[in-house]
Amino acid sequence: MRHQATAQVKGVLLVHLREFVVETHDLPTWKELEQRLRAIDPEVWTGLMLVSSWYPIGAWNRAFQIVISSGGTDPGSELRRLAHFISERDLNTVFKMLLRLAHPESVLSRASSLWSRYFDVGSLSAKQRGPRSWEVNLEAPVGENAGPGELTCHGVCGWLERAIELTGIKHSHIAHARCRFNGATQCSIDVTW
């Protein structure tokens, strides 16, 4: 993890967010949302967005909230679609081929390295509880500019769901059992299949 005063998000998430809106809605919808985002975080949304650069995490939290809240009548469904989209996009073709040969345990055991691809703050860890049963824990600050927001907690669930599907598992159960935004010291996600 990088050590600095403000938490950062990798540009790839912001780029995927834009691609999601354009592909699942349309370009005019993105342009409208982009105007709102530029008014809030002009230093991030004005100019070229680079997938390998780091950006303030608060901009991610605010953009994620705006996209999900403007996505229709079912924010939960929109969140799940976005998480699946990001998982699908970020796991390149070669990795997807390996996932088809891998087991869900392989994906879950790499949780911490997957997390650090997106965020320079917090940690994601996974431990096996039994056959086809894991617990994934997310530790991170809860301030809007200090760590990934509550939507990201739920997004992790959708990302894991899609990654596990890519291993060939058709039915999994991913439950956000405890949340750091609801009094828990860390988020806890139950994963079974």
Question: Backbone phi, then psi, for 55, in 5-degree steps?
Answer: -130, 160
Give the model confidence (pLDDT) of 47-76 as tens digits.
Answer: 899 999 999 999 999 999 999 998 777 888
Our count of domains for the chain comes to 2
Domain, as residue range, for 136? 98-192
Give the model confidence (pLDDT) of 66-111 as tens digits.
Answer: 999 987 778 888 999 999 999 888 776 556 666 666 789 988 988 8
* 131 and 160 within one domain: yes
* 114 and 67 within one domain: no
Helix axis angle, 57-69 to 27-40, nearest 10°: 140
Residue 1: inside a domain, yes or no?
no
* 127 and 77 within one domain: no
* 64 and 120 within one domain: no
Give the chain's length: 193
